[in-house]
Amino acid sequence: MELIAHLAQVESLTAIGIGLIIGLGALGACIGIGIMGSKFLEAAARQPELMPLLQGRMFLLAGLIDAAFLIGVALAMYFAVGNPLATAITNAAKAAAGH
């Protein structure tokens, strides 16, 4: 019975952690791309001749910002599917039952 309570607690805290990782990651990526886009438009308005160069760099940075967010999503999905914390608790319970 104690094992079930510990597993439930780990799974519930893992779900909260996953929500925070994905939610804050998405918020950060949106804010970052928004600031970058506004600075791009500002720079393009000041020096229109640099627009092609700035546009290429803006798209590169947008990809990097998105990649950082997707790495966070992949880490969150790892904890959702193959939670190493739950595995450790299960193995500890099996070891304690064996002794």
**Which positions are catalytic?**
66
How many other C-beta atoms are found inside a 10 Å radius of the C-beta of residue 33?
16
- How many Å apart are CA 22 and CA 33, to the nearest integer? 16
- How many Å apart are CA 65 and CA 57, to the nearest integer? 12
